Amino acid sequence: MKVVVVGAGIVGAAIARELAMAGVSVVVLDRSASAGGTSAAGEGNLLVSDKGPGAELSLALRSLTLWRSLLPEVADTFPSIEYETKGGLVVATTDAGAAALRAFADLQRTAGVSAAEVDGLDYEPDLNSAHTAAIFYPQDAQVQPAIATEALLAVARRHGASVRQGVEVLGPLRGGDRLTGVATSGGDVSGDHVVVAAGPWSGEVARRLGVELPVRPRRGTILVTTRMRQRIRHKVYDADYVGAVGSDDAALQTSSVVESTAAGTVLIGSSRERRGFDERIEARVLSAVAAKALVLFPFLAGVAVMRAYGGFRPFVPDHLPVIGPDPRLPGLWHATGHEGAGIVLSTATGELLGDLLLGRAPRVPAEAFAVDRPTLRPHLEPSPDQ
């Protein structure tokens, strides 16, 4: 069997690894370089703490297990993927926020998430002492997302996959009513199946192949400080984060996620805004992100920011990844829409896609991610504004 994977981001990489290890002949195509899209433009938080009970949390919990189990594969031969199980500390700063946070944690515990209310200052001595509640999530971890992407691709290559960079998918190859490959800037590439894992560009690739898929970009901007002595030990974020992730509002929203990296810099995220593929970095966004971070850690006021960067989260209207076959076009598969959680969810996404494609029993409920699930169905027709 031969499978064409479109996109060499972390999702395409995880799929390529999964399929290649199962003996499938895999070719990964990317119009640019590997790890050159969203997977190199965000952070590498592997979080369960921001997810309520449901299909996405199941996928995240399964992913964490898979992340741990694949570490030996990438251990020796690669720059470190910087996997760290440092745990997340979610902090509320108002009384209402504290009550909501506690209620959310109670729900999460019923779904297998470990969450313990703690004294925030025990965990983060430099935290703003005026916070109203702090919950520690020991399962939260992190990786360096670009290196993790390359590491997954390297494992796939070791199992026979080929990765072709600088090859853009332009249109379908069809045999009867079946998709039999893709036409690319580098010639035709045929395959028994084509998996579109093109991140925020998945909608555009799907359209080129003949179907509508409502994937849109949701902008995020991150600040990087200069290196400093480590004063932030966990991933620390304000409880508003949970609200911003699930929001449908297109306007600017910020919530603070503060973490130290292995290199000694601090990453401060992030904003969420729907404004197309607009790459501009704006002062008002940077200011809003900075202000939120100072609420958590007042000492950061004197710390210098040396860079700002950002990317486009692949967003679908019902906030769930799309993983599985497209019933409208046999031979076409999707693996996208992971929004702000594609790094963590990549491993279980690869596994689930492999399960479905190879006829194995899925380890997570697959229907929730189906292309034609009820909450996505209304969006599968071209919308009038496009």
Partner 1 sequence: MSAETPDVLVVGAGPAGLAAADAARRAGARVVLLDAAGDAGGQYWRHLPASRPAAAERVLHHGWDRFAALRGQEVLTDAQVWLAERHDDRPPTLHVLVGPADGSDRVRRTFAPTTLVLATGAYERTLPFPGWDLPGVFTAGAAQALAKAERIAVGRRVVVAGAGPFLLPVAASLVRTGAQVLGVLEANGWRRLARAWSARPAELLSTRHKAGELAGYVRDLARHRIPYRTGTAVVAAHGTDRVTSVTVARLDADWAPVMGSERRVPADAVCVSHGFVPRTELAVSAGCRLTRDGGVRTDENGLTSVPGVYAAGEITGIGGADLALAEGVVAGLAAAAAADPAGGGISAGQRRDRTVNQRFAARLEAAHGIRPGWVGWLADDTVICRCEEVTAGDLRAGAAATGSRGLRSLKLSTRAGLGVCQGRVCGRTVEDLLNRHTGGLLDAGRTETRPLAAFVRLGELAAGADKEEPA
- Cα atoms found within 13 Å of the Cα of residue 71, Cβ hemisphere only: 12
Helix (H, G, I), strand (E, B) or coil at 66: helix
Give whichever of 205 and 239 is closer to ligand FAD, judged by the CB atom: 205
- Say how far residue 110 (Cα) sits from the centre of its chain: 24
Residue 11, binding choice from ligand FAD, partner 1, none, Cβ under 5 to 8 Å by partner class: ligand FAD
Calculate Rg over the CA atoms of the chain: 20
Closest by CA to 346, choosing from 146, 90, 102, is: 146
Cβ distance 29 to 164 under 8 Å? Answer: yes
Task: Pick one of 68, 207, 227, 377: the residue that binds partner 1 (CB under 8 A).
Answer: 227
Total length of the chain: 386
Give whichever of 115 and 146 is closer to partner 1, judged by the CB atom: 146
How are strands ordered across the β-sheet holding 133-137? 116-117, 133-137, 88-92, 235-238, 253-260, 266-272, 216-225
- Say how far residue 19 (Cα) sits from the centre of its chain: 20
Q: Does 194 interact with partner 1 (rule: CB under 8 A)? A: no
Helix (H, G, I), strand (E, B) or coil at 280: coil
Of 26-34, 65-73, 206-214, 327-335, which part binds partner 1 (CB under 8 A)?
A: 26-34
Of 52-60, 111-119, 302-310, 377-385, which part binds partner 1 (CB under 8 A)?
A: 302-310
Give whichever of 130 and 263 is closer to partner 1, judged by the CB atom: 263
Sign, Cα dihedral of 49, 53, 56, 58: positive
- Cα atoms found within 13 Å of the Cα of residue 280, Cβ hemisphere only: 8
Q: Does 220 interact with ligand FAD (rule: CB under 6 A)? A: yes
Cβ distance 166 to 31 under 8 Å? Answer: yes
Q: Does 147 interact with partner 1 (rule: CB under 8 A)? A: yes
CA distance 207 to 88: 39
Residue 269, binding choice from ligand FAD, partner 1, none, Cβ under 5 to 8 Å by partner class: ligand FAD
Task: Pick one of 1, 23, 33, 160: the residue that binds partner 1 (CB under 8 A).
Answer: 33
Cβ distance 64 to 46 under 8 Å? Answer: yes
CB count in 10 Å sphere of residue 176: 6
Least Cβ distance, residue 192 to ligand FAD (angstroms): 19
Q: Does 282 interact with ligand FAD (rule: CB under 6 A)? A: no
Q: Does 36 interact with ligand FAD (rule: CB under 6 A)? A: yes
Show the binding pattern over residues 78-97: x = contacts partner 1 (CB under 8 A), - = does not. Answer: xx------------------
Give whichever of 108 and 347 is closer to ligand FAD, judged by the CB atom: 347
Q: Does 301 interact with partner 1 (rule: CB under 8 A)? A: yes
Q: Does 65 interact with partner 1 (rule: CB under 8 A)? A: no
Least Cβ distance, residue 45 to partner 1 (angstroms): 16
Cβ distance 177 to 332 under 8 Å? Answer: no
Show the binding pattern over residues 297-316: x = contacts ligand FAD (CB under 6 A), - = does not. Answer: -------------xxxxx--
H or E element, residue 142: strand 141-142
Least Cβ distance, residue 30 to partner 1 (angstroms): 9
> For residues 221-233, b (16+ Cβ closer than 10 Å) or e, as one string?
bbbbbeeeeeebe
Q: Does 27 interact with partner 1 (rule: CB under 8 A)? A: no
Task: Pick one of 19, 41, 66, 189: the residue that binds ligand FAD (CB under 6 A).
Answer: 41
Give whichever of 204 and 372 is closer to ligand FAD, judged by the CB atom: 204
Task: Pick one of 115, 196, 245, 288: the residue that binds partner 1 (CB under 8 A).
Answer: 288
What are the φ/ψ torsions at residue 119 (nearest 5 degrees)? -80, 115
Show the binding pattern over residues 154-173: x = contacts partner 1 (CB under 8 A), - = does not. Answer: x--x-----x-xx-------
Q: Does 168 interact with ligand FAD (rule: CB under 6 A)? A: yes
Of 33-41, 170-178, 318-326, 339-347, which part binds partner 1 (CB under 8 A)?
A: 33-41
Q: Does 228 interact with partner 1 (rule: CB under 8 A)? A: no
CA distance 27 to 22: 14
Cβ distance 147 to 82 under 8 Å? Answer: yes
Question: Which residues would be at the binding site for ligand FAD (CB under 6 A)?
Answer: 6-12, 29-32, 36-39, 41-45, 168-169, 197-201, 205, 220, 222, 269-270, 310-314, 336, 338-344
